Structure 1
Amino acid sequence: WLLEPAWAMAAVIIVHVWKNIGYAVVIYLAGLQAIPRQLYEAALVDGANAYARFRYVTLPGLSPVLFFLMVTTVLAGFQSFDIIHVMTEGGPVHATTTLIFYMYEEGFNATNVGRAAVAAVVLFAAMLLFTLVQMRYNERNVNYQ
């Protein structure tokens, strides 16, 4: 199924998620441990059910962690090279060629350093734009207590 253009990118995404899930779980657990138990106890005293405790205590407490993981995970996805190179080398009919893999192909295999440099600038601009949009959007939703 790595030879099918329709399934090659799905296989790469599955491996990429599997590779990075451990990091995300450790960060989530650290974020959960940082939420004070007194907030949960106060919610219980106020009569909050499990959903209300999750919605009004856990999610706001995890908002910095969620923001951090969202940005770092997407940026890691932009920079995914090793999995693509090992699994498909760009894939059948370039189905798994990403911008970072295109930079490698142009810079080292085709010795077209100019195109690779332009692709690097485009990648930098896309990553910067994504990060700035996320920071602006999440500015009012992330609670740093």
Structure 2
Amino acid sequence: MTHSDPPADADPARWTVTLAGAVADPQTMRASDLASLVGEPMESSTACEGETAEPSRWRGVRVGTLLGRARPRADASHALVHSADPDYACGFDLDRLRDALLAVRLDGEPIPTERGGPVRLLVDDADCWERVKWVSRIDVLDEPPGDADTARDVVPADD
């Protein structure tokens, strides 16, 4: 497995996340917009490559809240979550993704770049490679993403 390097331009003031694809109302939100919606906490420890990090307290907005704004089409069933790393994306069943957290705070502070900030996806009971760092885009799909669309052999750098 290889590790992604943090993006050089992870400035929270300019960072955006786009929610598009099979939706009626595509959205582009700044990290600061997401921070204004923060309310959902998640306590989580990350286990990756045999090592477990200490539990951390993350805060953010549930993806389902953002999907409610974008209004997925009736045939929408999956999503592809893209990292700012152009070689990394992770596919999800849309129902599972609704409960995931787009985190913007870690232990009360903005998420450091090396930990996946300014925006990181956290999914309950997920493998480490599903906790996408540096989220830049979520494409809602009407079918599962193909293997060529995802990069499961690339794992974001350790927490």
TM range (shorter): under 0.3
Which has a greater percent of helix? 1
TM-score (norm 1): 0.22
Looking at secondary structure, tell me which structure has more strand per residue.
Answer: 2
TM-score by length of 2: 0.21
Q: Bigger relative contact order, structure 1 or 2, given CA contacts below 8 A and separation 6+?
A: 2
